[in-house]
Amino acid sequence: MHRKNPVSFLGQMCMLKAHRILMVSDFFFPNFGGVESHIYYLSQCLIKLGHKVVVMTHAYGNRAGVRYMTGGLKVYYIPCRPFLMQNTLPTFYATLPILRSILIREGISIVHGHQAFSTLCHEALMHARTMGYKTIFTDHSLYGFADVGSIHMNKVLQFTLADIDQAICVSHTSKENTVLRSGIDPEKVFVVPNAVDTAMFTPVPTRLSYDEIVIVVISRLVYRKGADLLVEVIPEVCQLHPNVRFVIGGDGLKRVRLEEMREKYSLQDKVEMLGAVPHAQVRSVLVSGHIFLNSSLTEAFCIAILEAASCGLLTVSTRVGGVPEVLPDDMIVLAEPTPGDMVRAITKAIEMLPDVNPHDMHLRMKKLYSWHDVAKRTEVVYDRALLCSNKNLLQRLQRYLKCGAWAGKLFCLVMIINFLLWLLLQRWQPSDNIEEVPDIHMHEGRQDTGVSDS
């Protein structure tokens, strides 16, 4: 008699259930960036697939409390203020009561944290594991191994991922980096790329004239994004190609250096500085140009490249991180992060322009990158997480002990205190006393997988 494989059968059962997901990060709207866009678009597509999605982030100015976004996406702006670079102050335990309340009220089954640099993400994943919830972590950045900041961040990541159920990286290069930094089992790490809203980023109906070649740069003007490299590249390109003009959108600490360069070489008519560009206006800036220039010194994926390609721009980028994985060879010219190689790559891109068809490029991007595809692939990761067995406190402490001779013992102490505080909260405010909120909409045909923290 034929028997069903119990694992595959359980996996099929999970696919029929609607997940109840809490996305957690310090980085979300009204702030703009790659992580913010990723969480928003992924959440919207998961809602369309029939799952319940709630977002938790810190307060932004007067934006605090509960807000609703498109598609019924519910956002908790908890009363914590940003401390440094939009991150909240690390408190270890202060976020436990409010997180527990949100998890119970919303009937959450999976906690999905985003970005290694997010304090709120690390604390939420730590508390969620203490309470027995399934946890997923998505890494959006690359970090080194030598400087003090990276060493500290890598140890924090090792602590967070020691007891994680599954992890996601946005490129294969990012996966290798995360595995090396955290020591997580590679089999737990999935590669799910970013995507682009091709309906928002469309090319202009008619081709632009090639009498003047416009090179667009939209980036935060900081060291990591290669602003210092731009200072050296732009004068050389303007000297070699008199018909080239640069349009630079973005703001940051290095903006002063770019303005000084413009004054030094008298390039006021060749270099236009737009300052910070609202996300709604990015497309109008992109379609004014022929070439998109990315000078980042480190990049896990780079959504900006996708947006530019969807608008029909040929891309010139530094060959760093996961960038070589993003676009086909005929849509991007890669260069080493040196001024000479960047200038040669821009020259090559100018020569390729007559063969570029913006509308064909847009159609190809529509097929290559879709947020609906990203959501379906993330859904598989959620299903895998539900198959992971829960460990008791002693089993979990054994994982933390492996994080280092001294660090392992410190991590164990942190988790024991966290567990005791959770037990205290259970007695002070039992789960039954926390009112569950009704769901706005959940697609029919999927079952509820909400869990309690008891």
Q: What is the pLDDT of residue 441?
A: 56
Q: Please determine, for residue 3, whether its predicted confidence score (pLDDT) is greater than 60.
A: no
Q: Please determine, for residue 4, whether its predicted confidence score (pLDDT) is greater than 50.
A: no
% of the chain beyond a pLDDT of 90: 74
Domain residue limits, the chain: 12-195+373-445, 213-369
At a CB cut-off of 8 Å and minimum separation 6, what does 39 contact? 23, 25, 27, 28, 55, 114
Which amino acid does the sequence have at 76?
Y
Confidence of residue 85 (pLDDT cuts 50, 70, 90): confident
SS3 of residue 379 by DSSP: helix
Tokens of 382: 């959620």
Q: Please determine, for residue 378, whether its predicted confidence score (pLDDT) is greater than 80.
A: yes
Query: Is the CA virtual torsion 443, 446, 447, 453 positive or negative?
Result: negative
Cα distance between residue 276 and residue 273, in whole Å = 9
Cα distance between residue 346 and residue 351, in whole Å = 9
Lowest mean pLDDT across 2-11, 191-200, 230-239? 2-11
Lowest mean pLDDT across 13-22, 120-129, 199-208, 367-376? 13-22
Q: Please determine, for residue 161, whether its predicted confidence score (pLDDT) is greater than 80.
A: yes
Domains 12-195+373-445 and 213-369 share a fold: yes
Choose the CATH number for 12-195+373-445 among 1.10.150.130, 3.40.50.2000, 3.30.1050.10, 2.60.40.10.
3.40.50.2000
Across the chain, mean pLDDT equals: 90
Spatial contact of 36 and 140, defined as CB atoms under 8 Å apart: no
Spatial contact of 89 and 58, defined as CB atoms under 8 Å apart: no
Tens-place pLDDT, residues 104-129: 999 999 999 999 989 999 999 999 99
Q: What is the pLDDT of residue 450?
A: 40
Q: What is the pLDDT of residue 9?
A: 40
pTM: 0.87
Cα distance between residue 118 and residue 217, in whole Å = 27
Across 236-258, b (16+ Cβ under 10 Å) vs e yields bbbeeeeebbbbbbbbbebbeeb
210: phi then psi, degrees, rounded to nearest 5: -95, 10
Cα distance between residue 105 and residue 316, in whole Å = 48
Q: What is the pLDDT of residue 69?
A: 93
Lowest mean pLDDT across 57-61, 145-149, 175-179? 145-149
Lowest mean pLDDT across 361-375, 379-393, 409-423? 379-393
Cα distance between residue 158 and residue 139, in whole Å = 13
Q: What is the pLDDT of residue 84?
A: 80
Say how many residues make up the chain.
Answer: 454
Confidence of residue 14 (pLDDT cuts 50, 70, 90): very low
Q: What is the pLDDT of residue 221?
A: 93
Q: Please determine, for residue 453, whether its predicted confidence score (pLDDT) is greater than 50.
A: no
Class of domain 213-369: alpha beta
Q: What is the pLDDT of residue 98?
A: 96
Tens-place pLDDT, residues 238-276: 999 999 999 999 999 999 999 999 999 999 999 999 999
Neighbours of 393 (CB within 10 A): 12
